[in-house]
Structure 1
């Protein structure tokens, strides 16, 4: 069994003219929402063995704040440049490369690919607000099998729930 949590990065700041899209930080709301969502996940026992994150600053900050709240060591965060400006299919390929021994993974990325991939797994998911978490459980042995099966469970949480 594999558990996948897709996370859209927390709210980013647009207050820094001239900063590249890749280097935009979180705003104050994002800095509050990310650890709050991490604590909510921790309270119900969710604890990823790995956190994959886009290399964009706002995604990295979200991943770190959530990891801290979840009690996940920083060395469990893996940055992957392919998760920035990716398609849903590319995100799925990155996930598919994970070691089969890993059973629980969080992927911190961007829209529209996060919402698109979540929608592929569950047609009930149409959008992913900032810092939303879509959690899926799959009855598979390997991560690359996700594209061929439907999840056995789906759960979506947002900071406003």
Structure 2
């Protein structure tokens, strides 16, 4: 049987200090630190990534770029998608169900409450809240993304669990 693996990452902590639109909000220093910490820990898990998709929001793209630099992803792997700039989850679910079936392991960078809802809907472990820079891996026993519905929560990584 084939598997599809979905790696979900919530953007790192953003700064409210700047008078910018929601989509342009940058990361806080702590956000950069936490995203780097999770990316370094995740690197040791040795997942082979086929594609990376990010919300076009600055805070999601910046988080994605931290992971790209630490994990050595090619920029060619990464695409922005408006559907991932979603807070309810409906657009993100639609996005997941339409991922190219040639791709087996995909990373998405996005926002709450969409991501917490999707993890609880599709995974088999309940989480209260996906914190900023939090990462969850869902594994589906399917051969087409359109059947991504009930998977196993294979890995949960929250920054607080890795901070010194």
Name the structure 2 match of 1:108: 109
Counterpart for residue 143 of structure 2: 141
Aligned residues: 158
Deviating 4+ runs (over 6 angstroms): none
TM-score between both structures, scaled by the size of structure 1: 0.92
Structure 2, unaligned runs of 5 or more? none
Partner of 1:5: 7
Q: State the partner residue of 1:83.
A: 84
Deviations 1:26-60 (A, max 9, x none): 01011112122111111111242211100000000
Q: 5 Å matches for 1:1-161?
A: 1-16=3-18, 18-122=19-123, 123-147=125-149, 150-161=150-161
Taking structure 2 as the reference length, the TM-score comes to: 0.91
CA-CA distance at 1:126 after TM superposition? 2.0
**Structure 1 gap ranges (5+):** none
